[in-house]
Amino acid sequence: MKFKVKIGKEISEKMVRDACAVDAIVYPENMRGDPDSCVGFFRKNPNIYTMIVNSDNNDLVGYINMMPLKEDDFKKLALGKFSDSEIMKNGPVAYDKPGKYWIYCCSIGIVPKYQNSAPVLMLISTVKSFIKRLEGKGFTIAGMAAEAISQDGEKMCKRLGFEKVCKSTAGYPVYARKGHFADD
């Protein structure tokens, strides 16, 4: 089986809704993305999503949503003073000009039969490449954070070089990473 990476404008609003359907499989109900909100965030910044599809049938295999946030929202999250659902109210900022950006790994969803397989490694590699390309264009990644909802989420955070820093207001571990991927 072959897989294809899609990012930014290669992704359709239907695919964003499909990602929400993956959320319904892998996340507790209180931590799932609302399809209309997710599409709205996608419209504001289509580069928040990286997706892996099955090349044979174009079915979504997995995705990662990495939203650049306002610095204050990011800092609250990284200190455990803000939950995922609270961040959703403000949504992402756009990559509209070079400068400092704080990225929240909002959600990672892999269809269960593909977990711990090649698509996971493809997502990690693609995300790192995307960040490196941003940095090459003058977009400084000042920090990254994620709220790990499951053991698989914790594994993904560790694979991305994140360290556990605290617990969120929802009681989940928050992981953070300073700096960039240039040395990885």
CATH of the domain at 134: 3.40.630.30
Residue 105 φ then ψ, to 5°: -75, 90
pLDDT at 108 over 70: yes
**In whole angstroms, how far apart are CA 136 and each of 87, 91, 123, 133, 180?**
28, 25, 20, 5, 11
Domain range for 59: 3-178
pLDDT at 51 over 90: yes
Tell me, yes or no, whether 184 lies in a domain. Answer: no
How many domains in the chain?
Answer: 1
pTM score of the predicted model: 0.86
What does pLDDT average to over the chain? Answer: 86
Tell me, yes or no, whether 108 lies in a domain. Answer: yes
Mean pLDDT, rounded, for 159-179: 85
Mean pLDDT, rounded, for 89-104: 86
Mean pLDDT, rounded, for 104-110: 88
Tell me, yes or no, whether 183 lies in a domain. Answer: no
Tell me, yes or no, whether 51 lies in a domain. Answer: yes
Res 184: pLDDT: 47
Residue 34 has a CB neighbour count (10 Å cut-off) of 13
User: Which of 77, 96, 84 lies closest to 144 in space, CA to CA?
Assistant: 77
Mean pLDDT, rounded, for 170-178: 86
Res 88: pLDDT: 63
Greater confidence (110 vs 127) lies with: 110
Res 147: pLDDT: 87
Mean pLDDT, rounded, for 122-136: 85
Tell me, yes or no, whether 147 lies in a domain. Answer: yes
Res 180: pLDDT: 54
**In whole angstroms, how far apart are CA 118 and each of 1, 53, 57?**
10, 12, 17
Res 70: pLDDT: 87
Tell me, yes or no, whether 106 lies in a domain. Answer: yes
Res 182: pLDDT: 46
pLDDT at 115 over 70: yes
Tell me, yes or no, whether 22 lies in a domain. Answer: yes
Tell me, yes or no, whether 129 lies in a domain. Answer: yes
Res 94: pLDDT: 85
